[in-house]
Amino acid sequence: MKGILVTGTDTDVGKTWFMLKFGSLLKEKNRDFHFLKPVESGCIEPDGSIIPKDATEFSKLENKSLNTICEFMFKAYASPPKAAKMENRTISLEQIVKFIKENKDDKNDCINIVEGCGGFYSPIANNKLTADLATELHLPVVLVVKNALGCINHTLLTIQSIKERKLDLRLIILNNISKETPLDNFEELSQFTDIPIVKLGYNEKLNSEVLKYLD
């Protein structure tokens, strides 16, 4: 399976935002790609409908059916195993891996873009973490970091955890998730790691230089 696994230093660091920008870049370059966000929480809408917002955006950009992108959708904005328990359901890592393997795109040079849940050590299934999914898939990893105070500590701890799993951390995305980013951590973070770092400005296109790291 050709592709990458996208994880973060925490929840709400902009993993989905990066994936949409990366997908747009691949589309611009006429490259095949396929999103896989097998699990999404917080899907309840005010009218009571269950809509996985992020996966729906992926479906629109890729122009592919939602059921090939996301299978496990939960109402509560909580970790998937906790959200599942609130609905008297369960979710296992085996189910998630099975969905990914059945829906991955192997044609030509297609890049499968898999999104984990929350941070690298966030729960994704019963007694399992996103780290366990990453180990199972053994794909190159992209780490998304919110460009804010405290991110250096979170980033270095996550890098260490990824390396302990003997995974290939290809790239760090330093993500500006708001217009105002009073503290830019790029130069300081670069002093503590030799992993390539690419800045993603607020509402900006992703620089095509990422392709040399992720091809």
Q: What sign does the CA torsion over 168, 121, 144, 32 have?
A: positive
Distance CA 196, CA 97 (A): 28
Q: Which amino acid is at 178?
A: S
Judge whether 50 and 73 are in contact, CB under 8 Å.
yes
Q: Out of 37, 101, 104, 179, pick the active-site residue.
A: 37
Q: Does 104 qualify as catalytic in the annotation?
A: no
Q: Which amino acid is at 69?
A: I
* DSSP class of 121: T
Helix (H, G, I), strand (E, B) or coil at 208: helix
Residues designated catalytic: 37
